[in-house]
Amino acid sequence: MSKRITIKDVAEDTGLSIAAVSYVLNDKEGVRPETRELVLSAVERLGYVPNYTARGLASHKSRLIGVCSPQTEPGSKLMFDNPFYSKLFSSIEYECRQEGYHVIVSGTDADESFLKLAQQRSLDGMIIVGSYSKEFYSDLKKANMPVVLVDTYQNPERFHEVKVDDRRGGHMATKYLIDRGHRDIAFISGALREQGVTQLRFDGYRQALEESGIAYQKRLVFPGVVSFESGLDCAAKALDQSSEITAMFCTADIIAMGAMKQVLQRGLKIPQDISIMGFDNLNLAEYTSPSITTVAQDIEMKGKLAVEIILEDIDNRISEPRCIELPLKIIERESIRRL
C-alpha cells in the first residue's frame, strides 16, 4: 500500500513551512498568489488529500451532521421505502455537501437513544425527523449540540423546528372532498400515535366532518403503516366495510397509490366510483393514471431550511430557537370528482 501523503510532505516538496501550506489549504487571506500556486501545484502532483479527522480535531469541528428518524414500525427497513424520506434526506445531503459537511443517516427504533451516535462520531449537529418520547428530548439536550426538529409536535426543550400544520392539512383535504359532495369518506393512514403527524391529520379530518355537520364514523377509519402495501390492504378493508364510501383520504401519497391499485383491481373506476385524495405531492402522484389530487408540502424546502438553521447555529449566528412553518396547498389533478 502506498504511503499517505501528508501536509508535511507538501511542505518539504515546496520548501515552505507547514503553517504556510496550511494557510493555503484553508484559503486564508494574505497569502501571496505565487505561494498559493506553488502549494496547489504540489498538492495535485503529489496527490495530497486533506485529513478531515485531523482537521476536525484542530478546529473542534467534525463537519458531520447526524440525520435521524425512527423506523415507523418495529423491525422494519430503513425509512427509504417511503419516497417522502428519500426526497427529504436527498435535500439535506445536497445542502450539507454544498457547505462542506457530510451526513450520517440513522434509522432506529423510536425508544433508542441517539446520544451514543452523537458522542462517538463527534457530530456538529443533528436533524431529527419525526416524534420521539419526552425522555429522548431531555437526553438529546444533554448532548449540548445544535438540533433541528423536522415534523415534530412536541418540543419540551425548545429546539429549532421546521414543520407544516398537519392538522390544517387534514382539514383541507377533508373539506375539499366535502365541498365536492362527499360525505362517506374513508380515512386511510399510518399508525395513529399521540402528537404524531398522522394523528394531527386525523384530528383535521374529524374537525372538517364536525364543521360540516357530518357524523364521525369510527368504522371508516383504517390506520396501518405508511407504505404502498398498507394502502392496498386498508383500502380493501374499507371497501369490504362499506359500499357507501365515495372517497378515501389517504394521509400519504404512497398510501394513496396502494389504495388506487386496490380500487382498480376490483373493477371500480377512479374517480367515477371512488375519489382518492393524497398528501405530500410526491412526483409519483403526478405519474399515476389517473394522477392524484393531493395536499402539497415542499419537502425539499424542509430539508434546505433544516440545514440552513443548523449551520447558522453551529457558527453561533442564532441566539434564540427558530420555528418555521411551511405553507400547504391543494394540487388538483384527476382522482376526485364532484358528486
Q: List the domain boundaries for the chain.
A: 7-50, 64-164+299-327, 166-297
CATH topology for the 64-164+299-327 domain: Rossmann fold (3.40.50)
- For the chain, 339 residues long, the average pLDDT of each consecutive 10-residue run is 73 90 82 90 83 52 82 54 86 93 75 61 86 79 87 85 96 98 97 87 98 96 94 97 94 97 97 98 94 97 96 89 96 96
Extract the C-alpha cell encoding 331: 394540487
Q: What is the pLDDT of residue 25?
A: 82
2.40.50.140, 3.40.50.300, 1.10.260.40, 3.40.630.190: CATH of 7-50:
1.10.260.40
Contacts of 253 (CB under 8 A, 6+ apart): 83, 84, 278, 279, 280, 281, 282, 284, 285, 292, 294
The residues with which 86 forms a beta bridge, in sequence order, are none
pLDDT confidence of residue 119: 67
Is the distance from CB of 297 to CB of 267 less than 8 angstroms? no
Task: For 203-250, give the DSSP string.
Answer: HHHHHHHHHTTPPP-GGGEEE--SSHHHHHHHHHHHHHH-TT--EEEE
Q: CATH number of the domain at 166-297, please? A: 3.40.50.2300
Q: How far is CA 106 from CA 35, 68, 139, 262, in A?
A: 43, 5, 17, 33
DSSP letter at 153 equals S
Do 64-164+299-327 and 166-297 show the same overall fold?
Answer: yes
Q: What is the pLDDT of residue 79?
A: 60
pLDDT at 1: 38
Q: What is the pLDDT of residue 81?
A: 67
pTM of the model: 0.80
Query: What is residue 57's predicted lDDT score, i.e. its pLDDT?
Result: 45
Rounded CA-CA distance 252/254 in Å is 5
- What confidence score (pLDDT) does residue 202 get? 97
